[in-house]
Each structure stands twice: as C-alpha cells, then as structure tokens.
Amino acid sequence: MSYESASPAGRVLNPHHTGLSAGGSSGGEAALVALRGSVLGVGSDVGGSVRGPAALSGVYGFKSTSAALFPIHDFVKGGLAATMTVPAAAGPIASSLRDMDLFVSVVHAARPYLQDPSLAPLPWTGLAGVPYQKQLKVGFMTHDGAIVPQPPVLRALAWARAQLDAAAPGLFETKDFAPYGSAHVMASQRAAYWPDGGRGLKAALTAAGEPMFPLTEWIIRDGAAAAAGGELSATGVLALRVARDTFRVAFAAHWTAQDVDVVVCPAFVGPAPVHETGLYWNYGAFWNYVDYPGVAVPTPVVALAKGKEGYTEECAVPLSDECRHVRQLWDEGDFEGAPVGLQIVARRHHDNELFGALHVMEESLGL
C-alpha cells in the first residue's frame, strides 16, 4: 500500500518521464492505458489509487461511491478491519469519459447487486442522464488547508477555472471552495488504515517471502496505532468509525453551505513525484474518508523545465511541515513534461450527477 507501483519484478515508470513515478497502487494500469497498450483497466481505490495514477499519467480514472456500482465481495482476502472505516471502491482507468461510462454501463447491466448483497441496486445514467437545467455551480479548492500543491497544479486549476468562466453565459458559476478538516482526516485515516499497527500486512509479506517497500514502511510507521506500538481493540476500531460518521455529517453541512454541485481540486500534491517520494495522499484519500465519488481528468498543462516556475508570493508561507516538505521536493526535483490531471468530485451517491456535470463540462475543458 503506497503511492508507487513496484514489485520484485520491477518498478513501473511514468510514461511521460521515466525518472518519475506512475503513482500507485494502480500505476501500472494507468501507464499502460496512457501508452495505448490497453484500452481500459480496472483499479482499486482506498486512498486515491485509481484517481492518482490516472492523473499522473494523463488519463481518466473514476472512483465511485463505495458499495454503489462495483462488486466488492472478497475484495480483501480474509477481510480487513480498515475497510470498516475507510471503504474501498473499484473503478475504471481509461482514455476517455465515454469509455468509463461504457464500462460502468456494462457492469451495471450485469446486475452485480444480485451476487453481492452489499451493493445498492442504483440506476446508472452516466453521461446521458441527469441533465442540468440550471447553471452548474463549480467550486474550486486550490489547497486543502494543509498542503499547497506544487506550481503546475495551481496553474492547471487556474486554467480550468478560466475555461469555465469563458464558456457560454449562464452555463457555469465558478466560486472558491473552502477546505475543511484535511489534517484531521489524514490523522484519523492513517489510524484507520492500520488499526493493528500493520502486523497483518507484515505477516502476509513474510509468509509470501516478499519485501516491504519504503513507502509502505512509512505509511505504517505514520499510523497512530503503529506509533503507539499497540493494536486497537474492537471498541477502538468502532470509535474510529463513529468519529468518521460524525465528520461526514459536518462535512456535508460544509458542502451545503458552500452551495456547489461539484468541486474541482488537485488529484495529488504535484505532477508525478520522483520515485519513492509520493508521501502525501491528502487530495485523494480525503474523498475516500467521506466516500464521495471522484473522477481524475487530464489537462493540457505540463510541468515546465526546472527553474521556469515556482511558488508565488501569495503562497510564500508553508501551511504545515508537510507543506514545507512538498516545497522541498519541488525544489529538488525535475518534473519537465509531466502531465497534470485534476480531480472533480460530487456528493456521496451522486455518481450519476457527477457524470452529468462532466458531460456539461466536456466541451469547455476539452474532456
């Protein structure tokens, strides 16, 4: 479990810049789709593992609301306490919105909810449905209150907003979307990922004779249960779930107060990171915690040559130690030519509305 795709067989390289990562854990699939080696793939997403790799490779990726569209029975062998708090979801990685819509339509037509009782028998209208009869309200979240994204991501957000503002009058209303509780969510989520301090994962790797890679060691070490050297009890795991549900109610109220239909935000803190430096999942994992559907979409923005762009005076003061480290990684790296994808999200169970909004935005954003 890391923002890197590597195995004893080798490491996946970013198809646009081989010195950079393809992300993870579905980085191989995203790279293959970007290289046109595959027309479509399916990934899993419990912290951004579909949307992140898709954004880093310049393709599309969709994470649905959990237990809404795709079967998850036996998703994790033997079960995992973490999914009681942070549910996983499957989703397509493809080279177009149309292909993702087609994939969901085919899966939905098979009525997977008859085999997997955890799924709700919800309809799927996708790009063809949920027409917006009113002006689409689009919020733009330029940072999450914890980490200001690297310059190319800010440039991509500015480009997207300008494109929507230049559209036909009355089609879009763009507005700022204020961040809410990201640092709290990430601390809670890391504890939820590893309620046993990573013991189960370590045992599985030992049994399989496989090594633990650096980013996995880091995320386990960063977990609250691991840091305390303990293991949460069943009551402790349930307490995490109660805290999660309390936060979801508060965030739903925050979204309502912002008065938006969808939010455009970063998919990752920057373009593709240098290998083994994809440490901060904030922009993907937050939406898993609240269980909102999201789609990663490509933009025409790519990172410029080293030294050709930097943080503005407006972003002069880092928001946190993590933010400071992300700036350091930017200063040290060379990301020239790496594509920048963005993420568009909607409320929980508003998967159809999300695709309806994407249909409205297609022409303006060149999707």
Query: Which region, left, alpha or beta, applies to residue 20 given φ > 0 means left and ψ of -120 to 50 means alpha?
Result: beta
349-361: per-residue pLDDT in tens? 999 999 999 999 9
87: pLDDT strictly greater than 70: yes
Q: Is 60 exceeded by the pLDDT of residue 226?
A: no
Alpha-carbon gap, residue 364 to 367, rounded angstroms: 8
Distance CA 192, CA 334 (A): 34
**Mean pLDDT lowest among 69-78, 165-174, 186-195:** 69-78
Q: Which helix (H) or strand (E) holds 174?
A: strand 172-176
**Tens digits of per-residue pLDDT, 246-288?**
999 999 999 999 999 999 999 999 999 999 999 999 999 999 9
Chain segment 38-74, per-residue pLDDT in tens: 999 999 999 999 999 999 999 999 999 999 999 877 7
DSSP conformation letters of 124-150: --GGGS----S-EEEEE-S--SS-PPP
Check pLDDT > 60 for residue 224: no
**Structural domains of the chain, with CATH:** 6-365 (3.90.1300.10)
Q: What is the pLDDT of residue 222?
A: 59
The β-bridge relationship of strands 172-176 and 89-94 is unpaired
In the prediction, which pLDDT does 82 show? 77
The amino acid at 344: I
d(CA 350, CA 346): 6
**Beta-strand pair 136-140/172-176:** parallel
Q: Which two tokens stand for residue 122?
A: 């919800």
- The stretch 211-229 carries a mean pLDDT of 71
Nearest to 153 by CA among 355, 342, 2: 342
Q: Residue 125: pLDDT above 90?
A: yes
Task: Quickly state the pLDDT bin for 223 (edges 50, 70, 90).
Answer: low
CA 131 – CA 138 distance, rounded (Å): 15
Q: What's the mean pLDDT when you consider all of the chain?
A: 92
3-state secondary structure 61-97: EEECCCCCCCCCCCCCCCCCHHHHCCCCEEEEEECCH
pLDDT in tens, 308-329: 999 998 888 999 999 999 999 9
Residue pair 21/27 in contact (Cβ under 8 Å)? The answer is: yes
The residue among 138, 139, 143, 160 whose CA lies nearest residue 314 is 143
Average pLDDT over residues 290-316: 95
Name all contacts of 32-40 with Cβ < 8 Å and 24+ positions apart.
33/57, 33/59, 33/93, 33/94, 33/95, 34/58, 34/59, 34/95, 36/95, 39/94, 39/95, 39/99, 40/92, 40/93, 40/94, 40/95, 40/99, 40/100, 40/103
pLDDT tier, 106 (very low <50, low <70, confident <90, very high otherwise): very high
Q: Which two tokens stand for residue 36?
A: 């046109």
